[in-house]
Structure 1
């Protein structure tokens, strides 16, 4: 069964829920507040954020390459101030470029898109899927 874009391996939550938590973390909110907003355990959200921080620079680079590959005239995201926020901005920018080039992608959320691009490895490994 192919669910890479919907689920994150070894996680109980959908990529969309984890992505929402990462987007909120990119805004500077702490894991306890995010957990309350999403109705998840503090430790769960803290784990997502810690795991993503380990991968943030690789994710940022990977999605910057994706952005350049799919956009006719790529607009690079501004530096957001933290590696986590920069990585989230790169995912958002690459997804925006993909939906501009392929309107059918509008039915795929940015975190489902990220799951597809990374083969479901949003949080599982420090190396980007090839």
Structure 2
């Protein structure tokens, strides 16, 4: 992109092993920029931190859920039919709450000239 700033939206992905307890740790960020046709996730699984907070958590299940999100973002077969939709619909799918080990937080927004760099910055800041 040139130096023009484009609006974007993002959600922080939370590891929520027990929805009834409403406890979570941030594990990733999904960023969507319509102007750049950009949809991607950046995630980090800190095994020690997660094990301390949620000793019974199955890390393999968490990583599979995050890999699914990556597949949706990339329109990859890993995500099945969810990957076949237009980019904006895929972001809508990812920002919708559901009762799984990975849940999105509220939608936030901003402006950027480089969505990929902004995604990396947000992951480093929030995860």
TM-score band by shorter chain is under 0.3
More helix by share: 1
Which structure has the bigger radius of gyration?
Answer: 2
More strand by share: 2
Q: Which has the higher contact order (CA 8 A, sep 6+)?
A: 2
TM-score where L is the length of structure 2: 0.27
TM-score where L is the length of structure 1: 0.27
